[in-house]
A and B are shown apart, each in its own frame.
Chain A
Amino acid sequence: MDDTIVINAGLSEVDKDLVRYLFKLKASTLEHAEEPVGTFSVARRIIEAAQRVIDFMDEFSRKDSFFFIFIGTEKEENLKLICNTVLEKSEKTKYFAIKIHDSWLDFSVNQLTLSGKMFTKIK
Chain B
Amino acid sequence: MISYAETMSNIISGLSKYDRIYISRLLDIIEHKVGDKTPVIFISNQHVHVMARLSLMLSGKIFYVIPTTMTNSEIISFLTEIYQPFVITDNKDNIKSNSNFAKIYELEIYPIDINNPPDITIIIEESFTMFLYDTSGKIIHITEDVFAILYENAYELLSNNKLLNKPFLCAEVNDFFLQYLIIYISRIKTTSSSFILTEESLFLNKSNKKSDNTLYISYQSYRNIWKEVLSLTLQNKLFFKWFFNKWLGRIIIYIIIRKFEKYFKLFNKIVVLGLITDPILAEISEKLRHSKVYNTYGETSSLMLFGISNKPGQIELRPGLQTISVSLKDNRKAYSIISEKYIESSSTKISQLVMTIRGERFLKSITTNSLFVVKDGYAKFLGYAFNNGVCPAYIESIFNSFPFIKDSAVVWWRNNYILLLDVDEPILDANRINYLFFTKIMKGQVTKVNQNLLPEEIQIKSFGQIPSTIVRYNRLGQLDKEFLYKVEYF
Say whether B58 faces chain A, with CB atoms less than 8 Å apart: no
Which A residues form the contact surface with B (CB < 8 A)?
1-2, 4-9, 12, 14-15, 17-18, 20-22, 24-29, 32, 34, 47, 71-72, 78, 81-82, 84-85, 102, 104
Contact of A7 among B435, B483, B487 (CB under 8 A): B435
Choose from A5, A12, A14, A78 the contact partner of B465 (Cβ within 8 Å).
Answer: A5
B412-450 contacts to A (CB < 8 Å): 413-414, 416, 418, 420, 425, 434-436, 439-440
Of B192-200, B305-313, B334-342, B468-476, the segment with at least 4 beta carbons within 8 Å of chain A is B468-476
Q: Can you pick out 12 interface pairs between chain A and chain B where the beta carbons lie within 8 Å of each other?
A: A12-B461, A12-B462, A17-B414, A22-B466, A24-B487, A24-B488, A26-B470, A28-B483, A47-B490, A78-B434, A81-B434, A85-B440
Give the residue of A5, A7, A21, A32 whose beta carbon is less than 8 angstroms from that of B413: A21
Name the residue on A nearest B488 (C-beta). Answer: A24
Which residues from A are CB-within-8-Å of B73? 34
Instruction: Tell me whether A22 and B464 are in contact in the complex, defined as CB-CB below 8 angstroms, given that A34-B77, A85-B439 are known contacts.
Output: yes
Q: Which residues of B contact A104 (CB under 8 A)?
A: 469
Are A15 and B462 closer than 8 Å at their CB atoms?
yes
A24 and B436 in contact, given A6-B465, A8-B464 (Cβ under 8 angstroms): no
Closest partner residue, chain B, to A79 (CB atom): B435
Determine the distance from Cα of A78 to Cα of B433 in the docked complex, in whole angstroms.
12
> How close is A61's CB to chain B, nearest CB, in angstroms?
15
Q: Contact partner of A18 among B436, B462, B490, CB < 8 A?
A: B462
A1 partner, pick from B425, B472, B487, B490, beta carbons under 8 A: B425
Contacts of B413 in A (CB 8 A): 17-18, 20-21
Report chain A residues within 8 Å CB of B434.
Answer: 78, 81
Contact of B484 with A by CB under 8 A: yes
Q: How far is the CA of A9 from the CA of B463 in the complex (A)?
A: 11
B469 near A14: Cβ-Cβ < 8 Å? no
What distance in Å separates the Cβ of B337 from its nearest Cβ neighbour in chain A?
28
What residues on B are CB-neighbors of A22 within 8 Å? 464, 466-467, 470
Q: Which chain B residues border A15 with CB–CB below 8 Å? A: 462
In whole angstroms, how far apart are the Cα atoms of A98 and B490 in the complex? Answer: 22
Q: Which residues of B contact A (CB under 8 A)?
A: 73, 77, 411, 413-414, 416, 418, 420, 425, 434-436, 439-440, 461-470, 472, 483-484, 486-488, 490
Closest Cβ of chain B: how far from A24's Cβ, in Å?
A: 5
Instruction: Evaluate contact between A29 and B490: CB separation under 8 angstroms.
Output: no
Residues of B within 8 A of A12 (CB): 461-462
- A78 in complex: contacting residue of B418, B435, B469, B483, CB < 8 Å: B435
Interface centre among B425, B466, B467, B484 (most CB of A within 10 A): B467
* B465 neighbours in A (Cβ, 8 Å): 4-6
Contacts of A85 in B (CB 8 A): 436, 439-440
**Cβ of B468 and Cβ of A21 under 8 Å apart?**
no
Give the Cβ gap from A51 to chain B, nearest Cβ, in Å: 9
Nearest Cβ distance between residue B484 and chain A, in whole angstroms? 7
CB proximity of A76 to chain B, nearest CB, Å: 13
The distance from the CB of A2 to the nearest CB of chain B, in whole angstroms, is: 7
Q: Are A4 and B461 in contact (CB under 8 A)?
A: no
Flag if A20 contacts B425 (CB, 8 Å). no
Do residues A17 and B416 form an inter-chain contact, with CB atoms below 8 A? Answer: yes
Contact of B464 among A18, A34, A81 (CB under 8 A): A18
Asked if B462 and A25 make an inter-chain contact with CB atoms under 8 angstroms apart, the answer reads no
Cβ of B319 to closest chain A Cβ, rounded Å: 41
A5 to chain B, nearest CB (A): 7
Please name all residues of chain A whose beta carbon is closer than 8 Å to the beta carbon of B488 when the two chains form the complex.
24
Task: Give Cα distance in the complex from A78 to B463, angstroms.
Answer: 19
Is B472's CB under 8 angstroms from A29's CB?
A: yes
Residue of A nearest to B76 (CB): A34
**Chain A residue with minimal CB distance to B484?**
A25
- Please give the distance in Å from A71's CB to the nearest CB on chain B: 5
Residue of A nearest to B459 (CB): A14
Distance to closest chain B CB from A54 (angstroms): 12
Say which residue of B440, B461, B467 sits within 8 Å of A14 (CB atoms): B461
Contacts of A25 in B (CB 8 A): 466, 470, 484, 487
B435 touches A21 (CB 8 A): no
Give min CB distance, B461 to chain A, whole Å. Answer: 4
Asked if A24 contacts B490 (CB within 8 A), the reply is: yes
